[in-house]
């Protein structure tokens, strides 16, 4: 026999059970995002500005009511610019934190550590490295929105040819980023009608590249391409000035950040940097698709942080946009497989041009995406190169 007291107890239990069930359902429906960035260590100048972009995107999508209309949370770990640590953090994000998707990490070495884990555990990974070492061959759970090193090298070569410079010297970092840059440059030589007259490498911790620059000078190039991330390129600019190297210097997108101008000072004046479309958004015509897709984020970033956008900020913006498009595409499903399946179909115009993922490819980029611009440092600012 059920007494009044027992009936009330059962009723309360039922209400609590329904409440718990509802809470679990809401929690299960939440999109859980992992974020890996190097906000300390040698790459903190990159990771710091990318974290600012991520914070801006979180604010924006919270204000909109979610990503693809779904509530979300972000679990962030600082990779400390440590490739070994990235592997541990990837497994922690996936196996302990239970994230549905991972954004990051940043550079080639870190991404090559994260990629096999993403594929093993079948979790979509949107890294902020776009080198062909990362995207080729294609793997099923990696989705890059970042321009490839081939697109960057082509933009640099195109400007050199426009300026009548056909003998190239290549000074690159002795790591995955630098090596893939050298490989694609060599592949482009014959078809582009340019000549590689010297190659030199530098270590990530080298403090003086004067000997390499002197050997390059003796090869009499028309232009020197520098391929790496700081601090190397900044040191190179200063060393080149010290020895009176007077040929044009083009840097890759590894230093397409305002900090590069600050760090190089007078030694960077007149040099060139491969940038991304977002960095020129304000200079594009009012009706340009890339401008229209980016101007709100550009202005919001500048207003919040008091500095211009960098190429790396655009990588973050596009990763969030891709995720928003994927959740919308799949009808609001937040499980890993549904996100991955949707990512293989989506396309949009973003910070890195006109992007379209295709089945069997790990990148949304293409030669005609409009991702790249060449910039010149003039009076302490980036301006479009002519």
The beta strands (E) that lie in the chain are given as: 31-37, 72-78, 101-103, 125-126, 167-173, 195-202, 223-227, 249-251, 272-276, 347-350, 353-356, 372-378, 381-384
Question: In this predicted model, what pLDDT tens digit does every residue of 274-332 receive, in sequence order?
Answer: 999 999 999 889 999 999 999 999 999 999 999 999 999 999 999 999 999 999 999 99
Which pTM was predicted?
0.88
pLDDT given for residue 190 in this prediction: 85
Phi, psi for 225 (deg, rounded to 5): -90, 130
Nearest to 169 by CA among 275, 243, 245: 245
Question: In this predicted model, what pLDDT tens digit does every residue of 324-368 receive, in sequence order?
Answer: 999 999 999 999 999 999 999 999 999 999 999 998 999 999 999
Question: In this predicted model, what pLDDT tens digit does every residue of 63-78 receive, in sequence order?
Answer: 999 999 999 999 999 9
Question: In this predicted model, what pLDDT tens digit does every residue of 251-280 receive, in sequence order?
Answer: 999 999 999 999 999 999 999 999 999 999
Question: When comparing pLDDT for 43 and 235, which is higher?
Answer: 235
Mean pLDDT of 87-98: 98
Sign of the four-CA dihedral 128, 132, 133, 137: positive
pLDDT given for residue 91 in this prediction: 98
Question: In this predicted model, what pLDDT tens digit does every residue of 132-167 receive, in sequence order?
Answer: 999 999 999 999 999 999 999 999 999 999 999 999
- How is residue 85 written in tokens? 């640590």
Q: In the chain, what are the domains?
A: 30-148+290-356 (3.40.50.2300), 149-281+372-384 (3.40.50.2300)
């Amino acid at each position: 026999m059920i007494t009044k007291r027992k009936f009330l107890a059962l009723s309360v239990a039922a209400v609590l059970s329904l409440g718990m069930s509802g809470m679990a359902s809401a929690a299960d429906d939440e999109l859980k995002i992992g974020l890996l960035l190097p906000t300390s260590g040698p790459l903190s100048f990159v990771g710091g500005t990318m974290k600012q972009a991520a914070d801006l995107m979180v604010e924006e999508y919270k204000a909109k009511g979610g990503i693809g209309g779904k509530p979300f949370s972000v679990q962030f770990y600082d990779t400390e610019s440590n490739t070994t640590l990235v592997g541990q953090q990837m497994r922690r994000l996936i196996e302990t934190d239970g994230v549905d998707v991972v954004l990051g990490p940043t550079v080639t070495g870190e991404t090559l550590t994260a990629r096999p884990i993403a594929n093993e555990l079948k979790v979509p990974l949107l890294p902020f490295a776009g080198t062909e070492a990362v995207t080729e061959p294609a793997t099923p759970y990696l989705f890059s929105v970042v321009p490839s090193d081939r697109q960057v090298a082509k933009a640099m070569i195109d400007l050199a040819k426009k300026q009548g410079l056909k003998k190239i010297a290549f000074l690159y970092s002795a790591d995955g980023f630098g090596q893939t840059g050298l490989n694609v440059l060599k592949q482009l030589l014959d078809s582009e009608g340019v000549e590689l007259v010297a190659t030199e490498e530098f270590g990530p911790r080298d403090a003086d590249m004067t000997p390499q620059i002197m050997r390059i000078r003796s090869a009499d190039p028309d232009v020197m391409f520098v391929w790496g991330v700081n601090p190397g390129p900044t040191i190179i600019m200063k060393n080149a000035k010290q020895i009176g190297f007077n040929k044009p210097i083009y840097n890759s997108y590894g230093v397409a950040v305002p900090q590069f101008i600050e760090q190089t000072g007078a030694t960077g004046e007149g040099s060139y940097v491969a940038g991304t479309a977002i960095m020129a958004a304000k200079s594009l015509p009012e009706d340009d698709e890339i401008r229209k897709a980016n101007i709100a984020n550009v202005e919001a970033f500048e207003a919040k942080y008091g500095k211009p956008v960098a190429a790396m900020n655009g990588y973050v913006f596009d990763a969030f946009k891709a995720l928003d498009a994927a959740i919308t595409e799949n009808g609001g499903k937040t499980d890993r497989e549904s996100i991955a399946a949707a990512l293989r179909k989506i396309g949009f115009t973003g910070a890195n041009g006109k992007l379209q993922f295709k089945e069997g490819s790990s990148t949304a980029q293409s030669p005609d995406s409009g991702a790249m611009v060449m910039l010149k440092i003039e009076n302490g600012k980036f301006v479009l190169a002519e």
